Structures are given as structure tokens and as C-alpha cells.
């Protein structure tokens, strides 16, 4: 008996949807990126602690390299965990993600050597002289980046050095050393891991007219003018579903950074929704994710996109921004956000567009 037309239509839609399983990284590579990845954290810690029953399904999704070909430790390589006391180094949490990446054949982005937040208390509590703090920074970078030498595709050397107005953040590092701490950090990182790509990483630097974007450009130029190696700029891209940059803005910003560095990346992508979730907000979120993908593929220097985890319960967003959430691609029940299929659609469209260009040129069309 022939299926009713409604059933046949539903079956056809299901068949069309089926290929959208486990192919984010695969399609990203086909579109010309080096990777599409997701950050992850240590099991039983922080946001992951209340959800042990979800680990098997979560781990299976993360392990599929067609889905995620790259990962980053969301927390385990930060100062709080790697040097909890002076000259006492602990790589347990960082090793969890680094070992996971190695065992699964994923690219590893390492994060973050110098950051004002999640510092070990002793760093903030010490009454520093400039030489003593400079020595502590150099020692920390030498130990941590040296320990992971050869394992990290890239290091976020300095994270979030700028305030919202583009001026330097008044961190312990800046108060004691001024902008010299930035030069010191990149110099030490280059010596500790010569093959890693060295990044400046920040949030709020995705829009071309933002004063913070201008500050990031000045910061990178200052480092380059000092003769230091800065390979990339990481746009964290913690974005808002209801107010996000256009693809054109993201392209313009990325191209501005690419005038100074060899590569750019979207390093901590999530798109938060003001709760409660509804269909319109999910549509806005989908469009935002699609714009990021479009921008990265369209900019030659953009090497990849990293989600700041992929499973909503493991997101940092609800813990920091009350009444916000659902910022990633998988809901708590492991169903996917519409944004997942939107990303797939965008990659496929951009791949088809790229394949069409040689055909147009061969027929004498204007590309």
C-alpha cells in the first residue's frame, strides 16, 4: 500500500535530514577550513558535575571526528589549575583534554597562558615588584607551554587583556608591568613552544566599529612592531541571538586582523538566548551561527571555528548570565538546535558556490 502523501513527504524530509549527522568538521574541511571543533572540560568538574548520566552519549558525539576535528580544554590549562602554588605545577586537568585529543586524532588548541581571571589566588595576593612578576610570568609560560610543547596547534598566549572601551584591562599584570607583560608573554611562549601558533584571544572584538576591536588591532600591532611573533587573533564570539553581527561585519573584522596576522579563528563560539526559548529566538540563533560560518569560509585567513562546548547543560552561560541559556547546538535531551542544520546548510551552500565558480569562468561568466 502506498504511503499517504503526508507520510511520503515526511519520509523525504527525514532522508534529507539524515546526512546532517556528524559532519560539521567534515564539511568545514571541504569548505576550506582547517577544523570545526568543540571545547570540553574534565568529567565530574564544574558545569559537568551534575550530569554523569549524560557522559556516554556526550563522549560518543565528541569522539566522532566527522563532527569535531578539534578540541580545547575549557579550564584545565588555566593558571588556577596548572600552577596552584608558586612553582607547584599540576597538569592533571590539562592532560585530560590533551590526551583525549591525541587518542582521537583531533587538533588541539591550548588555552590560556596569561589571563586575569581564574588565576591562582597567590598571584593576585602577592605584593609584586615588577622584576618578580615578570619572572613569575616567564616561569609559568616556560613550564606550561614547555610541558605541552609539540602537542598544541595553537596557544591563546594572552586572553582578554582589553577592557570594553579598548583600553588595557587593569589586571594585576598590567598594574605592575604595563603593556610590557604582553611582550614578555609572547616572547616567552615563542621560546617555550616554537611550533605552536601564538594567538591573542578576546571577546567583543568581532564588530569592525567596536572600540575594543580597535584596541585589539592596536595591541597586535604593538607586539608586531616590537618584533614579536603573533600568528593569530582569536575572536571568542560569545554572541547574542537577538543582537549579533552581520556576516559582512564579521568578514570586515576578520580581514582587518588578517592584515596584521597570518590567521584568525572563532575560538569560543556560543550564541546565548534570553530565556524562555521559543521558535523565533532559535531562528535568530540559527542565523547567527550561519553568519559566523559564512564569514570564516569567506575569509582566507580564517582557519576554523570552535564551539565553547556543544551540549547546553555543560555551558558556562547560565552560570554567568542569569536568565540566559540554550547557547550551544545540543539540548539537554541530546536533540539538536535548528542552528545545527543551519550550519550544515550553510557549509553545503558555500561548497556548492565554490564548485560553481570554475564552471562559470569556463563558460565565460563573470565570477
Strands (E), 20-140: 35-38, 70-71, 107-115
The CATH superfamily label for domain 24-355 reads Glycosidases (3.20.20.80)
In sequence order, what are the residues at sequence separation of 6 or more whose Cβ sits closer than 8 angstroms to the Cβ of residue 152? 108, 109, 110, 145, 193, 196
DSSP string, 327-347: -SSB-TTSPBPHHHHHHHHHH
Q: Which of 47, 83, 263, 268 is catalytic?
A: 268
Q: Which of 83, 160, 206, 263 is catalytic?
A: 160
* Per-residue confidence (pLDDT) for residue 2, from 0 to 100: 27
* Per-residue confidence (pLDDT) for residue 75, from 0 to 100: 96
Domains of the chain by residue range:
24-355
Q: Within 10 A of 127 (CB to CB), how many other CB atoms are there?
A: 6
Convert the pLDDT of each residue in 8-55 to its tens digit: 333 233 333 334 577 999 999 999 999 999 999 988 888 888 999 999
Listed as ranges, residues in the chain with pLDDT below 70 are 1-20, 358-367
Closest CA to 189 of 159, 223, 149: 149
The predicted model scores a pTM of: 0.91
* Per-residue confidence (pLDDT) for residue 5, from 0 to 100: 33
Query: For this structure, is 160 an active site residue?
Result: yes
Amino acid at each position: 500500500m502506498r504511503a499517504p502523501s503526508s507520510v511520503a513527504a515526511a519520509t523525504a524530509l527525514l532522508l534529507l535530514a539524515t546526512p546532517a549527522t556528524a559532519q560539521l568538521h567534515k564539511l568545514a574541511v571541504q569548505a576550506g577550513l582547517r577544523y570545526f571543533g568543540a571545547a570540553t572540560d574534565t568529567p565530574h568538574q564544574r558545569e559537568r558535575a551534575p550530569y554523569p548520566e549524560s557522559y556516554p552519549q556526550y563522549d560518543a558525539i565528541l569522539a566522532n571526528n566527522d563532527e569535531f576535528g578539534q578540541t580545547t580544554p575549557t579550564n584545565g590549562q588555566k593558571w588556577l589549575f596548572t600552577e596552584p602554588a608558586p612553582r607547584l605545577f599540576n597538569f592533571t586537568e590539562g592532560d585530560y583534554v590533551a590526551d583525549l585529543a591525541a587518542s582521537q586524532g583531533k587538533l588541539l588548541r591550548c588555552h590560556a597562558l596569561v589571563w586575569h581571571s581564574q588565576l591562582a589566588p597567590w598571584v593576585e595576593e602577592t605584593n609584586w615588584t615588577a622584576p618578580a612578576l615578570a619572572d613569575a610570568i616567564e616561569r609559568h609560560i616556560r613550564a606550561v607551554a614547555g610541558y605541552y610543547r609539540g602537542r598544541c596547534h595553537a596557544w591563546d598566549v594572552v586572553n582578554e587583556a582589553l577592557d570594553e572601551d579598548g583600553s588595557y584591562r587593569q589586571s594585576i599584570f598590567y598594574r605592575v608591568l604595563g603593556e610590557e607583560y604582553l611582550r614578555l608573554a609572547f616572547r616567552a611562549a615563542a621560546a617555550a613552544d616554537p611550533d605552536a601558533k601564538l594567538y591573542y584571544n578576546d571577546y567583543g572584538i568581532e564588530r569592525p566599529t567596536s572600540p575594543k576591536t580597535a584596541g585589539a588591532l592596536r595591541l597586535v600591532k604593538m607586539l608586531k612592531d616590537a618584533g614579536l611573533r603573533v600568528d593569530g587573533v582569536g575572536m571568542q564570539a560569545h554572541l547574542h541571538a537577538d543582537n549579533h553581527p552581520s556576516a559582512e561585519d564579521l568578514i570586515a573584522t576578520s580581514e582587518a586582523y588578517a592584515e596584521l596576522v597570518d590567521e584568525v579563528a572563532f575560538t569560543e563560539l556560543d550564541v546565548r538566548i534570553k530565556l524562555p526559548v521559543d521558535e523565533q529566538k532559535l531562528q535568530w540563533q540559527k542565523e547567527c551561527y550561519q553568519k559566523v560560518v559564512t564569514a570564516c569560509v569567506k575569509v582566507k585567513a580564517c582557519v576554523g571555528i570552535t564551539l565553547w562546548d556543544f551540549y547546553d547543560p555543560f555551558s558556562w552561560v547560565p552560570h554567568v548570565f542569569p536568565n540566559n541559556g540554550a547557547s550551544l547546538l545540543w539540548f539537554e535531551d541530546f536533540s539538536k538546535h535548528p542552528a545545527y542544520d543551519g550550519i550544515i546548510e550553510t557549509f553545503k551552500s558555500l561548497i556548492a558556490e565554490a564548485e560553481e565558480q570554475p564552471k562559470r569562468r569556463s563558460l565565460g561568466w563573470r565570477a
